[in-house]
Amino acid sequence: MATTTSGAGAGSRAGKRSGKKGTLYRGREGMWSWVAHRITGVLIFFFLFAHVLDASLLRVSQSDYNSVIDTYKNPITNFLEYGLTAAIVFHAFNGLRIIAVDFWAKGARNQKKLLWWVVGVWVVLMAGMFYPILAHSLHRIFGY
Amino acid sequence: MPAATSDPEFMTITVQVKRYDPDTETHRWDEWQVQALPTWRILDALHEIKWEQDGTLTFRRSCAHGVCGSDAMRINGRNRLACKSLVKDLNPAKPITVEPIQGLPVIKDLVVDMDPFLQAYRDVKPFLIAHGNEPTKERLQSQKDRDRFDDTTKCILCAACTTSCPVFWTDGQYFGPAAIVNAHRFIFDSRDDAAEERLEILNEREGVWRCRTTFNCTEACPRGIQITQAIAEVKRALITRRV
Ligand code: HEM
Ligand code: SF4
Ligand code: FES
């Protein structure tokens, strides 16, 4: 290619340098849904871990169990509960999507459409559960 | 070709390349300005840099037309062939980044060691295995049987898929999408007798069950092969024991 290059003294410039690390891979829907699936999966696992511990208290002492559960009764834990529900709902429905990709002959071809279904169902369910789950906290914070 | 300044279509693009110097064993980013046409491919811009600005820039290419599979690179964060990526499709207003594909040892700049990748390919026995007597005539196959594996015959072994896979990045032992694609090509070929053997190979720890269906491979394949689907078909064949 005989095109002229920009600037004079071509070859004399070693190029500008920067210490930038490599770029993040720009994966699409499939990659990000996998990232979300793994994060929510690990999150649910840690919740389950704590849950097994607090539930096992029931067999040790009912009053201790009650006092531990009482510490959960605050708006912050309530919002965390809502977040946990969000994680579980996403993980469950995206899990069904992955099963469809693996076992349904047309699953792989329709994976993006399936993901939008997952997100749609997730939004509807989370909107529907907003008040039922957070009612106590909303009352306490806004005092109505 | 006309001088850059005489053609109003030419524009200045910035190309940033992540380089590796084997002598000092260091990585660094270099940046060049190139006068390019919107219809240029990134490969043209790399040629321009190598031939006119910095002869030490090192990359592989051969056919320059998407056939040989030599020039898979991570361009603007995604694996593609430099010879099939047009400047105008990449937002030329911003610097265009070029990096070696990830997960294989870098030899110099954009050149990686393809041996581990090709070894995984060899391991799935990518050749026809037929038992019994040699036929005296051609091995006949119906159109339907041929269509069964048509998609996976298109692979050019560029490694764009395998090196876009998050599982392969963290576990270089994983066979990877390209090897599975080429196993699929023979597993579902009615003339071949070694499907069972190949399925057993892919049933191993580092075989198809490593796949997490991120679809990065399918998105990256310059041949448009439905790779994740091919992998799912192999998974299903392993479960049902039918091909
Ligand atoms: C609600 C029902 C559930 C369904 C339908 C479901 C479905 C799935 C599926 C299909 C996978 C495989 C993902 C893949 O192949 O990439 C998976 C992965 C996973 N699940 Fe679940 N799951 C459920 C509940 C749970 C629970 C309760 C936990 C936590 C204890 C959990 C933790 C995980 C983890 C850590 C992974 C690994 C993620 C990865 O490899 O990227 N899941 N789930
Ligand atoms: S399947 Fe596609 S991306 Fe993978 S090596 Fe073959 S041609 Fe390249
Ligand atoms: S140079 Fe042959 S595929 Fe790009």
- Report how many helices (DSSP H) and strands (DSSP E) chain A contains, helices first: 4, 1
The whole-number pLDDT of residue B144 equals: 97
How far apart CA A132 and CA B118 sit, in angstroms, is 56
**The ligand 3 atom nearest the CA atom of B156:** 3
Q: Are B34 and B12 in contact (CB under 8 A)?
A: yes
Range of the domain at B172: 115-240
Do B48 and A3 count as a contact with CB atoms less than 8 A apart?
yes
Tokens coding A51? 């849950």
Identify whether residues B55 and B99 lie together within a single domain.
yes
pLDDT at B63 over 90: yes
Does residue A15 surpass a pLDDT of 90?
A: no
Same domain, B119 and B108: no
pTM of the complete model: 0.89
Is the same domain home to B190 and B205?
Answer: yes
Q: What pLDDT score was predicted for residue B163?
A: 98
CA distance B206 to B180: 11
Residue B126 and residue B236 in one domain: yes
Predicted-complex ipTM score: 0.89
- d(CA A108, ligand 2 centre) in Å: 17
Confidence of residue B52 (pLDDT cuts 50, 70, 90): very high
Give the CATH number, domain containing residue B131. 1.10.1060.10
User: For the residues A102-114, what does the mean pLDDT come to?
Assistant: 97
| Statement: residue A28 has pLDDT above 80 | yes
Q: How far is B4 from chain A (nearest CA, A)?
A: 6
- All residues at 6 or more sequence positions from A78 whose CB lies less than 8 Å from its CB, including other chains: A133, A134, A136, A137
In a domain, B105, yes or no: yes
Domains of chain A with CATH codes:
29-142 (1.20.1300)
pLDDT score for B133: 79
Q: Report the alpha-carbon distance of residue B76 to residue A68 in Å, rounded.
A: 51
Query: Last residue of some domain: B93, B112, B131?
Result: B112
Q: Please say if the pLDDT value at position B50 is more than 50.
A: yes
Do B98 and B143 belong to one domain?
no
Q: What is the domain count for chain B?
A: 2
**Residues in chain A closer than 8 A to B77 (CB atoms):** 23-26
With CB atoms and an 8 Å threshold, state whether B216 touches A27: yes
pLDDT in tens, B74-133: 999 999 999 999 999 999 999 999 999 999 999 999 999 999 999 999 999 999 999 887
Burial of A40 (0-12, 13-18, 19+ CB in 10 A): buried
Q: Looking at the structure, do residues B86 and B49 belong to the same domain, yes or no?
A: yes
- Give the tokens for residue A71: 């510490």
Q: Among the three residues B112, B139, B166, which one is the final residue of a domain in this structure?
A: B112
Band the pLDDT of B35: cuts 50, 70, 90: very high
Statement to judge: residues B94 and B28 lie in one domain:
yes
Q: Which of A26, A27, A107 sits opposite B214 (nearest CB)?
A: A27
- Tell me, using a 6 A CB cutoff, whether residue B158 lines ligand 2: yes
Residues B85 and B168 in one domain: no
Q: What is the pLDDT of residue A1?
A: 39
The pLDDT of residue B139: 86
Give the percent of chain B with pLDDT over 70: 98
Six token digits for residue B65: 């037309």
Mean pLDDT of chain A: 88
Cα(B83) to centroid of ligand 2, in Å? 15
